Structure 1
Amino acid sequence: MSVPEAPAEPEARASRAPRAVYAVLVALYVLLFPYHPGLRSPNELCRLWQTRALVEYGTLDINRALKDFGYVGDLSVKDGKYYPSKAPLLSFAAVPVYAVLRAWSGGFLYAVREVPLVFFSRLILTVLPTLLLLWLVRRFLGSYLSPGVADAVTVTYGLGSLAFSYSLLFMSHQTTAVLLFSGFYALWRIARDEWRERGYLVAGACAGATVAAEYTGALGVLGLVLYAVLSVLWREEPPRARWVRLGQGAGLALVGALPFVVGLMLYHQAAFGHPLESGYKHLNDAAYQPWHLGGFLGIRYPDPRAFALSFFSPLRGLFALSPFLLLALPGVAVLRHEARARREMRAHLWLVVALLAGYTYFTSAFSYDSWGWTTGPRHLTGLVPFLLLPAGLLLERLRTSGHPALLGAAAALCTASIAFTGVATFVNYVPDDVSNVVLGLAVPLLRAGYLPPSVLNLLGIPNPVAGVLLLVLLLGLAGWVFVRLGLHGTERPGATPLIAGLAMLALLLGLQTATVKHHSGDQGAVRFLEKVWLVPPGRTLGF
């Protein structure tokens, strides 16, 4: 039996509650500002120092920026000139932000301070694009799922996955997810004959920008290419028409991608002496070089340790922080069943399988130790939005097939994801020697009053009061997701979903408790972060 397309719900109930929920979600994204200058966040600041260099000195290298604004990490060096080791898109994208802040603040060299620079760069270039992505995700899911499930899955993705963590950091991982899904969305609309072929220009531009933002995003681009080809070849058209369409689409996509690809190659030529040579071949820190040697750009044969830790480690395992993504694994079988009945779902099935296999191989074959001081396995961020439909289809199947206990347990996985990832994101800088990010780091900091900096602090509300308000909003949405999935939209749910959900939450909390050690690594990390915390208890924030 196929999952019905977006079953109707009472209009008043289906519209008013989600509006308030999405307003709270947007507020959490806009208000939260987990940043601590004392950490000298290398992944973020190396990009922004290049932004400073571009505006202040008109140079790609950041030698003068390092001298004028202080040393940062994650650098490459070529012929005595220093550059960020990262792909350059975000550095260039932040130039207008920096220029406006500089003009507004007086127009002199030191006019733009670090904290407002990081805040507005995140807000404009990582937070707002993710909010747009959530809108696209909801529209996409709404074509296959009921409104209740589509809303709950969208909110869970927004607050219970790596999307939340990396939207609140000036890094390229969530940028990659935004660009990949936006490119897929364009291809999906074309495949449904809702967009004209000009949409391939959008898909191509997103693909090119993805590689310019993060080199490993090329893995996701290959998945999009597979989806584009299959969605054309499986159309109900004469073979000649399909090949003509495929050729036109490839040409338009290439035109869309070309400015970003050529720009990236010109950057490599200017900085590192060859259009295909990135900064990872010229790392300034010799200790990082082994991670990128051997195999293809450091990708070797799979390592069981890297696989296990990337997915299940209590420190930064994908499923440990976002257990709702486990639903996508059996959800692939539901998607396969749907693909038999709907031609348009076949290409999507292959896309999900290809991305899941490709990203799993990548995270298993690359050095796990290179993730470093982050929330979750950061290079898997681009995979996550493509797991939402399989997870949603499974939830829909559980709602319609009369399995209230399984539905309650599945809803609890979504609730736990928001709680676990949410409190981890409140910290968002995770030392490597912590045993468990939730109970070993985030909860001790929260208990001590070290809640995240936020716009509320700028308005004069000190921590921990401001942070507690945001924590209440986060946990409130976690509870709403459980109610929306487990208790609403099902006939006579009774107490079974609630009991099963509480049992699942108890199991997940038990696993968290069993894996936290409270050893010297946990205690040292807590003490260190307390020393560098931007807004400690009783303090407010000023730019």
Structure 2
Amino acid sequence: MTARSPETRQHAAVRAFLIAVVLFVSFAYFYQGGGWNQNSRFDLVRSLIEQGTLRIDSYHENTGDKALYQGHYYSDKAPGLALLALPAVAAMRPVLATAGVSPGSPRGLVALSYIATVFGVSLPTAAACACLFLLALRLGSSVSASAFGAIATGLATPVWAWATLLWGHALAGACLVLALAAAAMLQQTQDPVRDRFWGFVVGLTAGWATVSEYPAAPASAIVAILALTVVWPSGRQRRWRVAGSVAAGAVICVMVLLVYHRAAFGSSLHLGYSYYQAGAFPWMTHGFMGLTYPKPDVML
């Protein structure tokens, strides 16, 4: 990686901020709500705020993406996105009420769903693209090339569409990019405090990718291993320091999942995908969450 002066780093930070603003506005301009996937996550947000429960019984009819456990309905999705959007939605409800809009009215629900999407998906994705710009600079790319890569990621790939939806795809990807950028920061210093900080960020962001989308787990593990390979040549003491910090961040995410699954489905190891109603998504009953071995007839 190339060394840069403080002035150059400041200019890079300003450019990264501008990239994030442009992409955030581009994402936030659009709103795509009302689908099963979006409603399933938003129902969980509503049930937590309005009723203090994980059950979505009062709203379940607006989605087919739901789990049925012991006579009650739950979101079948990983809880990370709903939990991340929760504070913004909770803060917006009194604002709407002050403006004369009932949070439970159709207009209020659309506004709250939009807020959940903007703060839970659009903002993290824009921030990740800005980090991608800074990461490319650190790897030796020119300012123009780094900016092109970051902006193209946000506006010339499916990321743009995903960043306008209350889905977990963009958030999980954003978390992985943030974790990758944090892992790269470990190459810049061997200061113990910075090592612990960036290691913790790696574990927390990589872990939250999995809390938001279960299939992100392999990628999360790869980024965590990458962080360890970055510091491996620096000796045993630094390896353990960074490994412990990564583990600390990851443990928080693991505990979130375990507690959520236990509270919702009676077991820390049971996912919502295990409790579909009879006949719903039959392919999910095969293998692990629908994933099995490659089949030649499918490829043909």
Name 1:202's counterpart in structure 2. 201
Q: Deviations 1:278-305 (Å, cap 9, x if unpaired)?
A: 00111136231323422x4432222457
Q: Deviations 1:208-248 (Å, cap 9, x if unpaired)?
A: 21221111110111211331232233x2x4xxxx2232222
Q: Secondary structure at the match of 2:73?
A: strand
Bigger mean CA deviation after superposition, 282-291 or 202-211? 282-291
2:86 is equivalent to residue 95 of structure 1:
yes
Does the 8 Å CA contact 1:88/1:212 hold for their aligned counterparts?
yes
Q: Secondary structure at the match of 1:82?
A: strand
Name 1:135's counterpart in structure 2. 130
Deviation at 1:89, TM superposition (A): 1.4
Which residue of the other structure, out of 231, 239, 245, is the alignment partner of 1:246?
Answer: 239
Summarize the alignment of residues 490-501 of structure 1 with structure 2, pairs less than 5 Å apart. Answer: none
The TM-score normalised by the length of structure 1 is 0.48
2:32 is equivalent to residue 62 of structure 1:
no
Deviation at 1:29, TM superposition (A): 2.1
2:292 is equivalent to residue 300 of structure 1:
yes
Does the 8 Å CA contact 1:54/1:60 hold for their aligned counterparts?
yes
Distance 1:104 1:307, change over 3 A: farther
Which segments of 5 or more consecutive residues in structure 2 lack a partner in the other structure? none
Summarize the alignment of residues 45-56 of structure 1 with structure 2, pairs less than 5 Å apart. Answer: 45-56=39-50
Deviation at 1:5, TM superposition (A): 6.0
* Alpha-carbon distance between aligned partners in 2 of 1:5 and 1:246, rounded to the nearest angstrom: 23
Distance 1:256 1:273, change over 3 A: same
Q: Deviations 1:416-460 (Å, cap 9, x if unpaired)?
A: xxxxxxxxxxxxxxxxxxxxxxxxxxxxxxxxxxxxxxxxxxxxx
* Alpha-carbon distance between aligned partners in 2 of 1:151 and 1:109, rounded to the nearest angstrom: 39
Give the letter for the 2:120 counterpart. L
Does the 8 Å CA contact 2:24/2:122 hold for their aligned counterparts?
no
Name 1:105's counterpart in structure 2. 96
* Alpha-carbon distance between aligned partners in 1 of 2:49 and 2:284, rounded to the nearest angstrom: 32
Deviation at 1:184, TM superposition (A): 1.5
Name 2:260's counterpart in structure 1. 267
Q: Secondary structure at the match of 1:105?
A: helix
Does the 8 Å CA contact 2:182/2:201 hold for their aligned counterparts?
yes
Does the 8 Å CA contact 1:158/1:164 hold for their aligned counterparts?
yes
Does the 8 Å CA contact 2:182/2:202 hold for their aligned counterparts?
yes
* Alpha-carbon distance between aligned partners in 1 of 2:71 and 2:231, rounded to the nearest angstrom: 49
Name 1:84's counterpart in structure 2. 75
Deviation at 1:150, TM superposition (A): 1.4
2:153 is equivalent to residue 157 of structure 1:
yes
Does the 8 Å CA contact 1:84/1:279 hold for their aligned counterparts?
yes
Deviation at 1:26, TM superposition (A): 4.3
Give the letter for the 2:160 counterpart. F
Name 2:214's counterpart in structure 1. 215
* Alpha-carbon distance between aligned partners in 2 of 1:120 and 1:168, rounded to the nearest angstrom: 11
* Alpha-carbon distance between aligned partners in 1 of 2:209 and 2:278, rounded to the nearest angstrom: 26
Name 1:189's counterpart in structure 2. 185
Name 1:379's counterpart in structure 2. none
Deviation at 1:203, TM superposition (A): 1.0
**Larger-gyration structure (1/2):** 1
Deviation at 1:272, TM superposition (A): 1.0
* Alpha-carbon distance between aligned partners in 2 of 1:307 and 1:142, rounded to the nearest angstrom: 39
Deviation at 1:106, TM superposition (A): 2.5
Distance 1:243 1:306, change over 3 A: farther
Name 1:119's counterpart in structure 2. 114
Which segments of 5 or more consecutive residues in structure 1 lack a partner in the other structure? 309-543
Q: Secondary structure at the match of 1:268?
A: helix
* Alpha-carbon distance between aligned partners in 2 of 1:25 and 1:215, rounded to the nearest angstrom: 26
Q: Secondary structure at the match of 1:208?
A: helix
Which residue of the other structure, out of 16, 25, 32, is the alignment partner of 1:27?
Answer: 25
* Alpha-carbon distance between aligned partners in 2 of 1:125 and 1:25, rounded to the nearest angstrom: 15
Distance 1:305 1:150, change over 3 A: farther
Distance 1:283 1:156, change over 3 A: same
Q: Secondary structure at the match of 2:68?
A: strand
* Alpha-carbon distance between aligned partners in 2 of 1:176 and 1:32, rounded to the nearest angstrom: 20
